[in-house]
Amino acid sequence: MFAVNVEGAVVKGGKWLVIERGAEEEHAGGTLSFVGGTVEQEGFSQDILERTVKREIFEEVGIEIKEKLHFVYSSSFLTAEGIPVINVVFLCEYAQGTPYRKSEDEVEAVYWMATEEIAGHPQSPPWTIESARRADQMLKQLQAGQL
């Protein structure tokens, strides 16, 4: 069985909403990432991944995103405890609110960063850089009407 994690690549004005994860976080504490979290068991449910992204973004940084989300890609990894995880990244458009450390245990800092800034930041793990590059590519395709 896999745990399922979702992340929102929230874009506003050509920059991505990125958090520095709390140092005490079990997975990748102190690194940069998109906002997200684990999908909770709800029984029979529709659009659970999309609702989870919206909920996690609001719970962690206090902003709302627009209704339409775009699937970017999925990947898998093992946690330090050996738990297999599927990670799903969605492209999300900012709607309203000012991001802040709403969940202070999970979020150390909040930034708006361009893809190049994420790629060059010493606290960016390879998977966050990959997610930013893929989200950026999808955003450009959407803006060009190619998707």
Q: What is the pLDDT of residue 45?
A: 86
Residue-level pLDDT at 9? 98
Q: What integer is the mean pLDDT of 103-131?
A: 95
Q: How far apart are CA 147 and CA 141, in angstroms?
A: 6
Angle ∠(145,126,49) on CA atoms, nearest 5: 55
- Per-residue confidence (pLDDT) for residue 30, from 0 to 100: 80
Tell me, what's the pLDDT at 79?
85
- Supply the DSSP string of 18-35, one letter for each residue: EEEEPTT-TTTTTSEE-E
Whether pLDDT at 24 is above 80: no
DSSP string, 56-89: HHHHHH--EEEEEEEEEEEEEEE-TT--EEEEEE
Provide the pLDDT for residue 81: 86
* pLDDT beyond 80 at 29: no
Task: Please check the confidence at residue 26 and state whether its pLDDT lies above 70.
Answer: no
- pLDDT value of residue 21: 86
